[in-house]
Amino acid sequence: MTFLTGPMYAGKGEYLQKALNLTPEELSARAVFHVEEQAAGEESLEDLADRLAQYDFVIANEVGCGVVPIDPEQRRLRERAGRLSCLLAQRADTVIRVCCGLPQVLKGEWTC
C-alpha cells in the first residue's frame, strides 16, 4: 500500500493520477480518499487501518497543523485522525507527502 498525505488541495490525487497515468475513475477504483474523516467513527483505529491498508493507495489530508481547536470533541477527532495516519504510515510500503503538487518520499521507494 502507498500512503499519500499532505495539506488539503495540495494536489495529492492529481499527482497520483499523473504519475501512474490513470483516469480519475481508474484511480477511484484503486484508492480511498479523505481517510481522516473515517477516523471520526467508532471503529477502532487499528481495525480501520488494517481495513484501509487493503487498498493500493490511501490518501489523507493532514489535520494536525494550525490552531488547536478549543472544543474537546474537535480535539479528539483531530487526535484520532493523526493517530490513524501514523498507523497507516507504519503499514505502508511507501509514504509520500505531497505539498504544492510536489512529492516528497518519506518511506520506501517511489519510481514513476
Domain containing 49 — which CATH number?
3.40.50.300
Q: What pLDDT, on the 0 to 100 scale, is given for residue 66?
A: 80
Q: What pLDDT, on the 0 to 100 scale, is given for residue 65?
A: 79
With respect to residue 14, please indicate whether it lies within any of the assigned structural domains. yes
Q: What pLDDT, on the 0 to 100 scale, is given for residue 110?
A: 80
With respect to residue 44, please indicate whether it lies within any of the assigned structural domains. yes
Which pLDDT tens digits describe the chain residue by residue (112 residues)? 999 999 999 999 999 999 999 999 999 999 999 999 999 988 999 999 999 999 999 999 998 878 888 999 999 999 999 999 999 999 999 999 999 999 999 999 887 6
With respect to residue 16, please indicate whether it lies within any of the assigned structural domains. yes
With respect to residue 15, please indicate whether it lies within any of the assigned structural domains. yes
With respect to residue 103, please indicate whether it lies within any of the assigned structural domains. yes
Q: What pLDDT, on the 0 to 100 scale, is given for residue 98?
A: 96
How many domains are there within the chain? 1
pTM: 0.92
Q: What pLDDT, on the 0 to 100 scale, is given for residue 112?
A: 65
Task: Please report where in the chains the cell 493507495 appears, as a residue.
Answer: 57
With respect to residue 56, please indicate whether it lies within any of the assigned structural domains. yes
Q: Report the sign of the C-alpha dihedral through residues 15, 53, 85, 90, in that order.
A: negative
Strand ranges of the sheet holding 94-99, from the earlier edge strand across to the other edge? 31-32, 57-61, 2-6, 94-99, 102-107
With respect to residue 87, please indicate whether it lies within any of the assigned structural domains. yes
Domain housing 17: 2-107
With respect to residue 112, please indicate whether it lies within any of the assigned structural domains. no
